[in-house]
Structure 1
Amino acid sequence: MSQSLLIISRQAPWSGPTAREALDIALAGGAFDLPIGLLFLDDGVLQLVAAQQPTALQQKDLSANLQALPMFGVEALYASARSLQERGLQGQPLSLAVEALDDAALTILIDRYDQVITL
């Protein structure tokens, strides 16, 4: 039986390669049919902002990777409600459908997974 894996992405999309690496791990795990969840936490929720212009910062666009997640079987997508609120994203249209969870629900979510990777 496969071990479940939760990837916690905490970095903004333009702060370096970490956000892309979290998405790459999720896509690779999904390609191998591993039970994977992806949680956007802290500045990681900024990856969900629609219509980003990463070329202005000489960064690569992550939107194609985000849109590919469900195609690779990564459908358990979550975001911290507090992180969304603190960054003015609560109630805003996001580039990906995620389930917003409060702090208590985040604790329960993390406990449900066998392995957790934080990037």
Structure 2
Amino acid sequence: MKSMLIISRQSPWSGPTAREALDIALAGGAFDIPMAILFMDDGVFQLCAGQHAATLQQKDLTANLQALSLFGIDDLYVAQSSLAARAVQPVETLSVKRVSDSEIATLINRYDHTITL
């Protein structure tokens, strides 16, 4: 079966793109497609605790993030440089693997398909 990597680059409050990336991952997981997500650039903000999505009339992504493992999506990655540039610490309830810029190309090459949102 073909595998897929979702690269999520958008903050949770910049519009529906971050939610759509998670929805694609959850749908793929429901059909047993090997899935992974790489959070980079402003996408790392999705991993922050205490987001107030309702204030910005956005859907809170916390439940979607927590559901990933229920759908067999355990390979979550985050770009270390994006975390450092934005002074972000991922919420401790998610198990995300930090990857360096030099490791990102290798990570992408591991998957048959890549979608960037």
TM-score (norm 2): 0.96
Deviation sequence 1:37-76 (CA, Å, 0-9, x none): 1000100000000111111111110000000000000001
Q: Is 1:114 the equivalent of 2:101?
A: no
Q: Secondary structure at the match of 2:50?
A: coil
Given residue 107 of structure 1, which amino acid in structure 2 is its aligned partner? A
Q: Which residue of 2 aligns with 1:37?
A: 36
Q: Secondary structure at the match of 1:69?
A: helix
- Structure 2's unaligned 5+ residue stretches are none
Fraction of identical pairs, as percent:
61
Q: Which aligned pairs between 1:7-26 and structure 2 lie closer than 5 A?
A: 7-26=6-25
Q: Which residue of 2 aligns with 1:82?
A: 81
Q: Secondary structure at the match of 2:60?
A: coil
Given residue 64 of structure 1, which amino acid in structure 2 is its aligned partner? A
Distance 1:118 1:41 in 2: 10
Query: Which one of the candidate residues 97, 101, 104 is aligned to 1:103?
Result: 101
Distance 2:111 2:51 in 1: 31
Q: Is 1:3 the equivalent of 2:11?
A: no
- Structure 1's unaligned 5+ residue stretches are none
Distance 1:97 1:47 in 2: 13
Deviation sequence 1:74-118 (CA, Å, 0-9, x none): 0010000000000101xx351522001001111110011110000
Change (3 A) 1:18 1:109: same
Q: Which residue of 2 aligns with 1:64?
A: 63
Q: CA RMSD in A?
A: 0.9
Given residue 97 of structure 2, which amino acid in structure 1 is its aligned partner? E
Distance 2:90 2:38 in 1: 17
